[in-house]
Amino acid sequence: MPGKAKGNGSGQKQSFQYDAVIIGTGPGGEGAAMQLAKAGKRVAVIERHDSVGGGCTHWGTIPSKALRHSVSRLIEYNTNPLFNAGDQAIHLTFQDILRHAGAVIRKQSRLRGSFYARNDVQVIQGEASFIDNHHISITRKDGSVDQLNTAQVMIATGSRPYTPSDIDFSHPRIYNSDSILSLKKDPKSIIIYGAGVIGSEYASIFRGMGVKVDLVNMRDRLLSFLDTEISDALSYHLWNNGVVIRHNEEYDSVEGRDDAVVLNLKSGKKMRADCLLFANGRTGNTDMLNLSAVGLKSDSRGQLKVDENYKTEADNIYAVGDVIGYPSLASAAYNQGRFAAQAMLSGHCPASLVEDIPAGIYTIPEISSVGKNEQELTAQKIPYEVGRAQFMHLARAQIANTQVGSLKILFHRETKKILGIHCFGERASEIVHIGQAIMQQEGNANTIEYFVNTTFNYPTMAEAYRVAAINGLNRIF
């Protein structure tokens, strides 16, 4: 990636302030900035907000998972007879648990900021928009406008909640998944419209705080991309804890009143609650970039098309993260940023995302999976078998009183190769990575027999792999 390039058609070489400018400081932007800076390039990042970290750190992944952790520990305390033998349950307000989330956000933002400083990456605060392929305008909060030029650009602006125009999100009782973090008063009831990952996570959080929750789902079951048994387990657990789930429903209108919110459904039903959380989809943050100036156009969801090297239709402009769609995960975005930076340096990506990307869903309890599910294997006519371990039978789960959940291993009947790992229960997002590591081994090292022949610490949750492996192999005849 040169610092100079032919750019004015007169035979003169254009000099650039930067080798690369990255718009956005979320995981994708950070991964790219670090990779380019360590290669000795002059790099700047543009961030529209006061501190780095992007939506992942400030409104999405970090705060929601910190909220979830606090509520989970609250539930654990209130249900464990060791701590609460018949006494009155402890109650925390939403603001109480937000304080913990706020502390985590500040720590993460300071840490991320130190990475840029340590690697001599200039952080520029302001709203970025294209002038042309090599020039970017930056509008600062005080209204002043700066301009910089660069050889290459990476768009890593992330996404924001989808907010349909017929719903008044300025109403104090109507929230999206970003603005819910500004909730001041504890509601006694909440309607959550959208039962995807975000909606399901917040349904767990609010129900864990004792809030009456109505969860409205546009589909016929929760999280339909999951293995059916895992999806059913989540549905049962939410139902068993008092969440009312309404499937196959769509909103007709939302009425924000002084004392409540009323949700009118197309089926004719009416729902009323103290507030509403609209959590149905996200939109890429590309509308403020003036993409037309560089010949680019986003789709209806604000997303850009890229090739295998994360390059857009403009030769010197790349994009990663939520703005390019699937898988829209913070973990994947960081790797996308690193891979795209390598393409900016050498012209091609020497690596790509793993084929089986793990999914972590931070409901209470957690869900995590990697690889194929039973529906996919059945449709592909792959002869598979199932090994299961119930957490209630594990000594570590009994000690920790985290007995809800199970581990499920799918494997080929003949080769014993592991095809999928599905986990429901406390620490599922950690447990799944043991199976993922074995799945990605070469040759005969990726079979279920590994879990039978190895030795696990005892007592541990990891021991579930040995139990599930033996259970599955016993089904083979």
52 assigned ligand-binding residue: yes
315 assigned ligand-binding residue: no
295 assigned ligand-binding residue: no
What DSSP character marks residue 292? G
Q: Which two tokens stand for residue 308?
A: 């295998």
56 assigned ligand-binding residue: yes
366 assigned ligand-binding residue: no
53 assigned ligand-binding residue: yes
Task: Report the C-alpha gap between 400 and 465 in whole angstroms.
Answer: 18
Q: Which two tokens stand for residue 29?
A: 């932007």
Closest CA to 275 of 208, 179, 363, 196: 179
Task: Report the C-alpha gap between 456 and 464 in whole angstroms.
Answer: 9
Q: Where are the alpha helices (DSSP H) in 80-216?
A: 94-118, 197-208
297 assigned ligand-binding residue: no
198 assigned ligand-binding residue: yes
243 assigned ligand-binding residue: no
189 assigned ligand-binding residue: no
Burial readout 104-132 (b: 16 or more C-beta within 10 A, e: otherwise):
bbeebbeebbeebeeeebbbbebbbbbee
374 assigned ligand-binding residue: no
281 assigned ligand-binding residue: yes
Closest CA to 299 of 283, 315, 321: 283
145 assigned ligand-binding residue: no
Q: Kindly state the helix (H) or strand (E) to which residue 150 belongs, with its residue range.
A: strand 145-155
211 assigned ligand-binding residue: no
Interhelix angle 94-118/27-38, rounded to 10 degrees, is: 20
The residue count of the chain comes to 477
268 assigned ligand-binding residue: no
Q: Which two tokens stand for residue 237?
A: 């657990």
50 assigned ligand-binding residue: yes
376 assigned ligand-binding residue: no
Task: Report the C-alpha gap between 383 and 179 in whole angstroms.
Answer: 47
200 assigned ligand-binding residue: yes
Residues contacting residue 398 through CB under 8 Å, at least 6 positions apart: 392
157 assigned ligand-binding residue: yes
298 assigned ligand-binding residue: no
Burial class of residue 232, CB neighbours in 10 A (0-12, 13-18, 19+): middle
Residues 435-439: contacts with CB under 8 Å, at least 24 apart? 435/370, 435/409, 435/465, 436/356, 436/358, 436/370, 436/371, 439/356, 439/370, 439/371
347 assigned ligand-binding residue: no
194 assigned ligand-binding residue: yes
E runs forming strands in 248-328:
251-256, 261-265, 270-273, 275-278, 282-284, 317-319
What sign does the CA torsion over 214, 219, 223, 226 have? positive
Query: Which residues are known binding-site members?
Result: 47-56, 65, 157-159, 194-201, 281, 322
Query: Which residues are known binding-site members for FAD?
Result: 47-56, 65, 157-159, 322
Query: Which residues are known binding-site members for NAD(+)?
Result: 194-201, 281
